[in-house]
Amino acid sequence: MKEYREEEEKLKWEGTFAEYLEIVKKRPEVAQTAHSRVYNMIKSAGIEEKNGQKIYKFFSNEIFGLESTIERLVEEYFHPAAKRLDVRKRILLLMGPVSGGKSTIVTLLKRGLEKYTRTDEGAVYAIKGCPMHEDPLHLIPHHLREDFYKEYGIRIEGSLSPLNQLRLEQEYGGRIEDVMVERIFFSEDKRVGIGTFTPSDPKSQDIADLTGSIDFSTIAEYGSESDPRAYRFDGELNKANRGIMEFQEMLKLDEKFLWHLLSLSQEGNFKAGRFALISADELIVAHTNETEYRSFIANKKNEALHSRIIVMPIPYNLKVSEEERIYEKMIKESDMAHVHIAPHALRAAAIFSVLTRLEVPKKQGIDIVKKMRLYDGETVEGFNSVDVEELKKEYPNEGMKGIDPRYVINRISSAIIRKEVPSINALDVLRSLKDGLDQHPSITPEDKEKYMNYIAIARREYDEIAKNEVQKAFVYSYEESAKTLLNNYLDNVEAYCNKNKIKDPLTGEEMPPDEKLMRSIEEQIGISENAKKAFREEILIRLSAYARKGKKFDYNSHERLREAIQKKLFADLKDVVKITTSTKTPDEAQLKKINEVIARLIDEYGYNSTSANELLRYVGSLLNR
């Protein structure tokens, strides 16, 4: 706490306007607009490029699977607004389904600004003692601003507020250079640079909550309601000046509140009390759901506001792997963090959630499961990235409905409580999701039938994962077996492509390439007789490329070949697994094998003893069907 206080003291700064101008000369960024500050804050966290997609690190630890939405938000709103283009005169409206990440995005921006204003590049200065934390450059008279721009390269927007106009004359005798300036730090709790407004009962909610109000106790002292000293500049719009103003569920607000936003967004000022228009520089961000938005635009009375709003759809995430990360994050933040959740339990739930959000593809030869895999970046035979883009264009509003992450977390909690064991697996989660559909208030009977089918699909996907997991754990020298099989396959492919023979390692005689062996591997990943030549040539090209770079081609060098080798090994092992897991009274050798597998599942695959035993029993029953 002592260190924190010392740090706070170091950051503080106070000086005259003349001294402040010296800071502006050295660091013009201190005089940037609210929109520019937000954009630079996002940029300062770093930007990565991944598969042609920009990843903004500012959001990447909290928002998952919405990379293209975030990129659009930054590139189409924050960036042009920072460059003083007309976009900054619009209200940013995040529109999307419940629990889709709208509030999280706004919270990240608010928390980020609080931290950013404590850095050198994000430093903000204001006229000392001003309740609206006014920009000190407003002190420069309008007729001198053109000269100021020529000398400093900074444009000044907005007029000095009535209160500071009065203080300049009375406290400083009109001497602008003597006006005191201080460094400020944004804080939602202290109402500095961040304002939040929530709708309540329109009959009781007062416009003063937004624009401030008259302080009746001071009227006798100052003699007039139009004296700025008799006015409290403490509304949310006053306090959010220089930063960000959040309107929660904006479209639920009464019309009289929304009209204030017309001039604030377009002209950068608003009306308060008996004063001239008050300048304010703030980024206005609001969020709402689709139903509210549709009824808002259907009302002709709102047309003036329509044109001042930029709507950014925030859909649900449509990638299974990212959905898993959302659940992991939510569990980490809850009191369930101590519960052992077996590997792939969250994946099974994520598969179900994503399926409910996807639209059935129109494109021939592709079903909803293949679409789900393609969206998650998996390889699907016969499809490529161009197909993914085409699928996305089929339904531009995809992801605006379906099951929300909160429902899944609620059902996982329910599964934990019901089981009374500090460990749950995928079957517990899927069962709980299924049971909860009856209690979900917004699910229609048609949706329920569709969702039951998606639970069945998620279960089938999990069955495959579970079988592979156990078979992988059964291969004692798995890597060795895989390497041997791979090298054998590569020798044969090389001989086949170069039209050579292959030497038998035992007899030394020359033999034609082993077609049976090659096909037994290729068939595992659905490579047809007609496609085998192209696949083998692709492998040979990859092999040569590795050799040219002096790199070793190994088991992980070609994703699809690795999958084929795995499946071939597993197919050969299936009977061993079946007998060992399903025997009611295993003999000593079988028991030893089971214990080895359980140990491997615990040490290498992230299970605990309860979930490992449950997995083995379940896979045994699957293989015996």
pLDDT single digits (tens) 438-464:
877 778 888 889 999 999 999 999 999
Lowest mean pLDDT among 12-16, 73-77, 326-330, 501-505: 501-505
**Does the pLDDT at position 477 exceed 80?**
no
pLDDT at site 419? 67
Clarify whether residues 156 and 54 are in a common domain.
yes
Mean pLDDT in residue range 476-481:
66
| 522 part of a folded domain | yes
| 292 part of a folded domain | yes
pLDDT at site 202? 66
Q: What percent of the chain has pLDDT over 90?
A: 42
Q: Is residue 168 within 8 Å of residue 139, measured between CB atoms?
A: yes
| 607 part of a folded domain | no
Clarify whether residues 469 and 482 are in a common domain.
no
Rg over CA atoms, the chain: 32
**Does the pLDDT at position 590 exceed 90?**
no
| 625 part of a folded domain | no
Mean pLDDT in residue range 368-384:
87
pLDDT at site 461? 94
Clarify whether residues 108 and 227 are in a common domain.
yes
| 567 part of a folded domain | yes
pLDDT at site 356? 94
Q: Is residue 247 within 8 Å of residue 234, measured between CB atoms?
A: no
Clarify whether residues 393 and 501 are in a common domain.
no
**Does the pLDDT at position 194 exceed 90?**
yes
Alpha-carbon torsion 475, 476, 478, 483, what sign?
negative
Q: 394: which residues sit within 8 A by CB, 6+ positions away?
A: 359, 361, 362, 363
Clarify whether residues 527 and 470 are in a common domain.
no
Q: What percent of the chain has pLDDT over 70?
A: 96
Mean pLDDT in residue range 310-317:
92
120-152 per-position pLDDT tens digit: 999 999 999 999 999 999 999 999 999 999 999
| 606 part of a folded domain | no
Clarify whether residues 236 and 279 are in a common domain.
yes
Clarify whether residues 419 and 492 are in a common domain.
no
pLDDT at site 478? 63
Domain boundary among 572, 590, 617: 572
**Helix 368-375 and helix 385-394: axis angle, to 10°?**
120
Q: Residue with structure tokens 């003063």?
A: 208
pLDDT at site 416? 82
**Which CATH number fits the domain that encloses residue 29?**
3.40.50.300
pLDDT at site 231? 82
| 284 part of a folded domain | yes
**Most confidently predicted of 149-153, 235-239, 572-576:** 149-153
pLDDT at site 621? 84
| 378 part of a folded domain | yes
Domain count, the chain: 3
pTM of the model: 0.81
pLDDT at site 136? 96
pLDDT at site 270? 81
Clarify whether residues 331 and 458 are in a common domain.
yes
| CA atoms of 464 and 469, how far apart (whole Å) | 9
Strand partners, 286: 93, 247
Q: Residue with structure tokens 């804050």?
A: 41
Tokens of 76: 């189409």
pLDDT at site 107? 94
**Does the pLDDT at position 421 exceed 90?**
no
For residue 592, which phi and psi values (nearest 5 degrees)?
-60, -45
Indicate the pLDDT class of residue 345, thresholds 50, 70 and 90: very high
Domain boundary among 474, 498, 520: 474
Side-chain-side CA neighbours of residue 520 (13 Å):
14
Clarify whether residues 469 and 504 are in a common domain.
no
* Helix, strand, coil share (%) of the chain residues, nearest 5: 55, 10, 30
Clarify whether residues 349 and 489 are in a common domain.
no
Q: What is the residue range of 127's domain?
A: 13-313
Clarify whether residues 142 and 276 are in a common domain.
yes
| CA atoms of 312 and 335, how far apart (whole Å) | 33
495-511 per-position pLDDT tens digit: 999 888 888 777 778 88
Mean pLDDT, rounded, of the chain = 87
pLDDT at site 591? 78
Q: Is residue 348 within 8 Å of residue 456, measured between CB atoms?
A: no
Domain boundary among 474, 500, 530: 474
Clarify whether residues 390 and 519 are in a common domain.
no
pLDDT at site 266? 78
Mean pLDDT in residue range 428-433:
93
